[in-house]
């Protein structure tokens, strides 16, 4: 069985491999996740999903080395944040997808694990389709499994946004030694009177968007409620994310390659 780890392939293996495997590229961030979690949270969680998909569907995917930086200049008041401009990130990701298309891959999934990358990767996927003709899909992993997050969550609406219940529970499940809930505080900023502003990732967030400076809205970098997180719920969240992302990968593999029609 060929490895699903793109970086572990030889060039001959890349040449000969099934080009309808879905190539998964996780794009994340290096940024504050409250006083209770490390800067690498988005990368650890995104790669746990990607590698979980690879374990579930080893003949159907390849997992790229991740891009561990993202669009998050609004976080830079918190020490440690490394931010990439949106134009730079689009260009960088499109260079990766263009390389994959050059080698013959036809199906790419940009798997996002950092909120503000969502519009950036949406544009990168659209640009890839226009420039290369290959199938390139972008998805933020929490959107793929939001119903199942809501089945298992303990927090109220607003509890799952950034370093809140969802991320803290999964990191606790994966690497409890890197999470200190003793330092966590609930920062639920949800306004139940607003019809449009809602940043809860699993309950309709993002109908209307205003991304303020993070330091203006959160005293410690948290948005949500990590205090109710536990490892067993984290296991369920991660399992849901892996299963739904695997289902998406199988749909991507089944999509027809369509030809353009020039009607001039
Ligand atoms: Zn995060």
pLDDT tens-digit map of 56-86: 999 999 999 999 999 999 999 999 999 999 9
Q: How far is the CA of 208 from the centre of ligand 1 (A)?
A: 20
Q: How far is the CA of 142 from the centre of ligand 1 (A)?
A: 11
CA dihedral 198, 204, 208, 212 (to 10 degrees): 40
pLDDT digits (tens, 9 = 90+) for 4-50: 999 999 999 999 999 999 999 999 999 999 999 999 999 999 999 99
Strands (E), the chain: 22-27, 61-63, 107-112, 135-140, 160-162, 223-224
Q: How far is the CA of 33 from the centre of ligand 1 (A)?
A: 6
Q: Can you give the pLDDT at residue 252?
A: 98
Q: How far is the CA of 187 from the centre of ligand 1 (A)?
A: 15
Residue 1's Cβ-count burial label (10 Å; 0-12, 13-18, 19+) is: exposed
Q: How far is the CA of 82 from the centre of ligand 1 (A)?
A: 14
Q: How far is the CA of 17 from the centre of ligand 1 (A)?
A: 33
Q: How far is the CA of 66 from the centre of ligand 1 (A)?
A: 15
Mean pLDDT value of segment 240-263: 97
| Token pair 């995917």 in the structure block, residue | 61
Cα separation, 206 vs 199, whole angstroms = 6
Q: Can you give the pLDDT at residue 192?
A: 87
Per-residue pLDDT band for 204 (boundaries 50, 70, 90) equals confident
Asked if 234 and 172 touch (Cβ cutoff 8 Å), the reply is: yes
All structural domains of the chain, each given as residue ranges with its CATH number in brackets, are 6-254 (3.40.50.10310)
Per-residue pLDDT band for 190 (boundaries 50, 70, 90) equals confident
Q: How far is the CA of 167 from the centre of ligand 1 (A)?
A: 6
Q: How far is the CA of 34 from the centre of ligand 1 (A)?
A: 10
pTM of the full structure: 0.97
Cα separation, 113 vs 142, whole angstroms = 8
Asked if 144 and 248 touch (Cβ cutoff 8 Å), the reply is: yes
Q: How far is the CA of 107 from the centre of ligand 1 (A)?
A: 26
Mean pLDDT value of segment 164-187: 97
Q: How far is the CA of 12 from the centre of ligand 1 (A)?
A: 37
Helix ranges (DSSP H) in 133-259: 141-144, 146-152, 165-174, 214-217, 231-254
pLDDT at 206 over 80: no
pLDDT digits (tens, 9 = 90+) for 92-110: 999 999 999 999 999 999 9
Q: How far is the CA of 18 from the centre of ligand 1 (A)?
A: 33
């Amino acid at each position: 069985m060929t490895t699903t780890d793109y970086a572990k392939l030889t060039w001959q293996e890349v040449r000969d491999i099934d080009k309808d495997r879905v190539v998964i590229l996780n794009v994340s961030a290096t940024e504050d996740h409250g006083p209770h979690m490390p800067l690498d949270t988005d990368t650890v969680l995104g790669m746990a999903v990607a590698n979980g998909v690879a374990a579930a569907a080893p003949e159907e995917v390849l997992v790229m080395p991740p891009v561990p930086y993202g669009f998050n200049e609004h976080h830079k008041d918190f020490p440690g944040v490394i931010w990439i401009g949106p134009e730079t990130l689009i260009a960088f990701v499109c260079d990766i997808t263009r390389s994959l298309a050059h080698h013959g891959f036809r199906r790419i999934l940009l798997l996002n694990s950092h909120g503000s990358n969502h519009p950036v990767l949406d544009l990168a996927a659209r640009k890839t389709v226009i420039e290369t003709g290959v199938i390139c899909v972008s998805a933020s992993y929490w959107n793929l499994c939001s119903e199942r997050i809501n089945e298992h969550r303990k927090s109220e609406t607003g509890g799952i946004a950034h370093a809140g219940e969802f991320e803290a529970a999964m990191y606790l499940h994966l690497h409890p030694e890197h999470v200190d809930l003793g330092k966590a505080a609930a920062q639920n900023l949800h306004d139940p009177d607003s019809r449009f502003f809602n940043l809860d990732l699993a309950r309709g967030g993002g109908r209307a968007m205003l991304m303020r400076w993070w330091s203006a809205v959160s005293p410690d970098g948290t948005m949500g409620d990590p205090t109710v997180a536990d490892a067993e719920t984290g296991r369920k969240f991660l399992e849901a994310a892996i299963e739904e992302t695997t289902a998406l990968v199988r749909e991507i593999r089944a999509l027809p390659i369509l030809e353009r029609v020039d009607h001039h």
